[in-house]
Amino acid sequence: MTKRLPTAGIDLLDVEQLVLTEAAEPPLPSHDAEARDRVWEKAIRANPTLFDGPVVACGGLEWLGSRVLRLSWVRVTYRHYALRCIPGATALPSLFVNVAQPSDDGRVLAARMSPATAAPGRWQLPGGSLEPPGEGEVLNESALVGQAARELAEEVGIHMRAEELKLWIVTRGENGSVGLTYLAPTLPEATLRAGLASAAEAERAQGREPELDDIALVASPEEVAGLAGPHADYLEPIIRRFCERR
Q: Work out how many domains the chain is built from and give that number.
A: 1
Q: Which stretches does DSSP call E strand in the chain?
A: 3-4, 11-13, 17-23, 54-65, 68-77, 95-100, 108-113, 123-124, 127-129, 166-172, 178-183, 212-218
CA distances from 105 to 16, 95, 186, 212 (A): 27, 31, 8, 23
Q: Which domain holds residue 31?
A: 3-245
The CATH code of the domain that includes 160 is 3.90.79.10
User: Residue 3: beta bridge partners?
Assistant: 63
Per-residue pLDDT of the chain (246 residues; tens, 9 = 90+): 344 444 446 899 999 999 999 999 999 999 999 999 999 999 999 888 888 999 999 999 999 998 999 999 999 999 999 999 999 999 999 999 999 999 999 999 999 999 988 889 999 999 999 999 999 999 999 999 999 999 999 999 999 999 999 999 999 998 899 999 999 999 999 999 999 999 999 999 999 999 999 999 999 999 999 999 999 999 999 999 999 976
pTM for the full predicted model: 0.92
Question: Which one, of 242, 239, 245, 214, lies nearest residue 224 by Cα?
Answer: 239
Instruction: Report phi then psi at 16, rounded to 5.
Output: -105, -25
